[in-house]
Amino acid sequence: MKKLARKGNMNERIDVVLRKFRSRMTSYPPGMCPLNLYRSLLQISMNQSCGKCVPCRDGLAEVDYYLKCILNGDADMDILEKMEKKCRMIASASDCAVGTVGANLILDSLTEFADEYESHIKNGRCIEENVSQTIPCVTLCPAHVDVPGYIAMIKEGDYEGAVKVIRNKNPFPTACAMVCEHPCENKCRRTLVDAPINIRGLKKYAVDQAAADKVSTPKPNVKTGKRIAIVGGGPSGMTAAYFLGLMGHEVVIYEEHEKLGGMLRYGIPEYRLPKARLDEDINAILASGDIKVEYNTKIGRDITFTELREKFDAVYIGIGAQLGNRMPMENADAKNVIPAADFLQNVANGKPLDLKDKRVVLIGGGNVAMDAARTAMRLGASTIHVFTRKRDDYTALESEIESAMQEGIRFRTLLSFLNIEVDDEGAVNAVWLQPEIIAEYDQYGMMTTEHSSNYPYRFPCDVLILGVGQRSDVASLTEEGVPTERGRILADVTCMVKDMDGVFSGGDCVTGPSTAINAIAAGQVAAFNIDEYLGYHHKVEYGITVPPAYPNPCVPTGRAEIEEKDPFERRKNFDHVELSMTYEEAMREAGRCLRCDHHGCGVMEGGRGE
C-alpha cells in the first residue's frame, strides 16, 4: 500500500524562502533597469506555471527569450510587435491567472517604458539619465540628506556633527525628527537582512542629544548686496531663507502670523511636535545669516506683491496650503462643521472648539485627519468616528492610524458621505452615509467602489470635521498677475514661476498639499536657483568629515522602534507622546546601517558638504 507523506515541512521551508524573497522585492533599489525588473517578474510567472496549457508553458518562455535578446542588444524594433502579439495571445488563451497576469505585465511594460525598450534596441543600453545605481535612502529623501553620513556620526557619538550633516540639506532636523514621513526608509537595503533602519528614530536621538540651536551653523559668505523677499515663513520659505542667508544675500521674510513655522506650528499638534522644539530649528535658521522677519504682514493686505518685486532682486513665494476645504453640498457651512486644517489652526492659536462630551464625526483618512481626530480626543470628545469611502483613502502613516486606534478613535470604511443634517438652530446633528461595496481596481491599482443595495443611514453627531484637503490662499497674488491654475501657482521644477522674471515659488502652493520634507526640498532647490539667477554659483561649505565605512557582518538584528506613552495617559493632554531611544538602542540601530554610500552603490555623487 502506498504511504502518504506529510508535505507540511516542505511548504513551511518554501514559505521561509518566499518571506525572504518579498524583502528583496521591497528593497529593490531605485535607478535600476526596468527591463531587467520586468524580466525577473516574468520569470516568476514562468516558475509558477503548472505546464498544462501551451500558451503559458511555452508562450512565456518565448517572451522571456525576446526580452533576453533586447537586453543583449540582439534585437530590432520589429521584436516589439512580436512581443505584443505573443502576450495578447497568452493573456487571452491561458487557462489560469499565471499566464494571463504574466503576459499583461509585459504588455504594461511596453506602454509604460516604451522609451527604455527603444533605447535598448537602438543604443544597447538604458536611457542614461533614468538609470544609475543610487543610494536608496539618499535618493528617496526629497531633500537628499546624507543619511548614511549622519548615522555614522551618531554611531561615533558625534551628535553635533550629525545635526550638521542633516542641515547640509535640511535646516529642520528637529521638526523632521518628530514628524517626517521618512520615505528614506522605503527602499532601505537593510530589508535584505531583516528590517529597514529606523532613520527617523536615529535623527530624533541626535537632536535629543544636541539641540539644533546649540549647534553652530556654517559661516555666511561675504555679503553680496542682493535682497530677496520670502513670502511665507513655513518650512519651504524658511529653508530658502536659510540657504540664501548662508550665501551672503539679504533675506526678508513676510509672515502672516505672529510666529514662524507655517503648518509645522499651526497645523501639527503639540503632542507630535512640541513648539519649543520647533523653535530650536527656527532660532538656528534666523542666526545663520542676514535674515529679517516682518510678522503679521499679509501680501495683498499690508503690502502688495508688485511692491515686493520693485524693492527686491528676487521673490520666493512659499505660502503653503493652510485653508481647509469644505465639501460642495448643502449645509457645509453649518454650525459645528469645520475643515480639519481650520480646526487644528484654531487649537494652535488657543481657540479650540468645546468638544467636552461631544460626538465627533471626521470624514477623511490622511495625516491631517488623524491629527484632527487625535486632537479632538484630547479636547474631551465622548466619541470620535472616522469615515472613509475606500480603504485606499487611509493615506496617513500606518503608525498614526495605529496610534489613533490605541487612543480609542473608531474607524469605519466603505461608507460614502451623502449629506449633512442640521437642527432648527442651524447646527449639525447628523450625517447621512451610503454603504459601499468593493468594485474593480482602476488603472493606477486603486480600488473603486459602488453603492451597496443597503439603504443609506443616519449617524448622529454634534461636530463634523472635514479632513478633505487644503488649498492655498492665492487670491491676492492672482489679482496681481501671478499665474495660477486651480488654486496653485504655476512654477517649473526649478521653482521659477511661469512668465515672471525673478519670481520663484515652491511647496504646497505649487504642488498642492504635501509633506514638510517635500516643502523643505522645494525651498532648497529654489534657493540655489535664485542664487544662479542673481549671477552666482555659491556652495555652502560645512567642512564635515564623515567617519569611514566599516564592513557590516549582516547579522539579522531586531529594529529599535520609538516607544510612545501609554495611550490612555497620552490622550488626556497635549504632552509629547514619543519617548527617546536609549543609548544602547541608538548605538545598535546605527550599527545596523550597511553604509550603502560606500558598499554596494559606490561613493556619493558630488561628495559631501556641497
In the block, which residue shows the cell 553620513? 149
Prediction pTM value = 0.91
Q: Taking each helix axis from N to C terminus, what angle separates 147-155 and 583-591, rounded to the nearest 10 degrees?
A: 130
**CA atoms 405, 407, 408, 412: torsion sign:** negative
User: What average pLDDT does the segment 158-172 reach?
Assistant: 97
Strand runs (DSSP E) across 498-557, as ranges?
503-505
Please check the confidence at residue 77 and state whether its pLDDT lies above 70.
yes
List phi, psi (to 5°) of 430: -170, 160
Produce one character per residue of 435-452: b if its CB has 16 or more CB atoms within 10 Å, e if not: bbeeeeeeeeeeeebeee
To the nearest whole number, what is the mean pLDDT of the chain?
93
Q: Specify the pLDDT at position 609.
A: 42
3-state secondary structure of 556: coil
- Which residue has cell 517626517? 180
Question: For 20-29, 136-145, 392-401, 579-588, which range has the lowest pLDDT when averaged over its residues?
Answer: 20-29
- Which residue, among 517, 522, 528, has the nearest Cα to 507 in the 3D structure? 522
Of residues 167, 317, 153, the one with CA closest to residue 243: 167
Write the pLDDT tens digit of every residue in 179-192. 999 999 999 999 98
What would the pLDDT profile of 522-550 be if each residue is shown by its tens digit? 999 999 999 999 999 999 888 889 999 98
Nearest to 409 by CA among 444, 379, 442: 379
- 11: Cβ–Cβ under 8 A, 6 or more apart, which residues? none
Band (pLDDT 50/70/90 cuts) for residue 602 is low
List Cβ neighbours of 569 (8 Å cut-off, separation of 6 or more).
none
Annotate 57-126 with three-state secondary structure: HHHHHHHHHHHHHHHCCCCCCHHHHHHHHHHHHHHHHCCCHHHHHHHHHHHHHHHHCHHHHHHHHHHCCC
Q: How many CB atoms lie within 10 A of CB 478?
A: 15
Residue 464 pLDDT > 70: yes
**Which pLDDT does position 606 carry in this prediction?**
46
Question: How much is the pLDDT for 130?
Answer: 64
Average pLDDT over residues 18-34: 78
Is the confidence at residue 467, as pLDDT, over 70?
yes
Question: Which pairing describes strands 447-451 and 415-422: parallel, antiparallel, or unpaired?
Answer: unpaired
* Distance from C-alpha of 129 to C-alpha of 258, rounded to nearest angstrom: 45
- Residue 180 C-alpha cell reads as 517626517
Confidence band for 610, pLDDT divided at 50, 70 and 90: very low
Per-residue pLDDT at 1: 53
Q: Which of 504, 541, 510 is nearest to 525 (CA)?
A: 504
Q: Does the pLDDT at position 32 exceed 90?
A: no
State the SS3 of 124-190. Answer: CCCCCCCCCCCCHHHHHCCCCCCHHHHHHHHHCCCHHHHHHHHHCCCCCHHHHHHHCCCHHHCCCHH
Flag whether pLDDT at 605 surpasses 60: no
Q: What pLDDT was estimated at residue 114?
A: 94
Chain segment 376-391, per-residue pLDDT in tens: 999 999 999 999 998 8
> CA 50 to CA 226: how far, in whole Å?
71
Would you state the pLDDT for residue 436? 94
User: Average pLDDT of 507-515?
Assistant: 96
Contact assessment for residue 57 and residue 64, using Cβ atoms and an 8 Å cutoff = no
pLDDT in tens, 277-301: 999 999 999 999 999 999 999 999 9
Please, which residues have CB within 8 angstroms of residue 266's CB and are 6 or more apart in sequence? 257, 322, 344, 345, 348, 349
Three-class secondary structure assignment of 232-265 = CCCHHHHHHHHHHHHCCCEEEEECCCCCCCCHHH
pLDDT band at 24 (very low <50, low <70, confident <90, very high): confident
Range 396-403 average pLDDT: 94
Mean pLDDT of 562-580: 95
pLDDT at 445: 78
Work out the average pLDDT over 551-577.
93
CB distance 144 to 167 below 8 Å:
no
The beta strand positions in 397-441, using DSSP E, are 410-412, 415-422, 428-441
pLDDT tens-digit map of 405-416: 999 999 999 999
Q: Does 82 score more than 80 pLDDT?
A: yes
Residue 366 reports pLDDT greater than 80: yes
Helix (H) or strand (E) holding 449: strand 447-451
Average pLDDT over residues 73-79: 94
Percent of the chain beyond pLDDT 90? 85
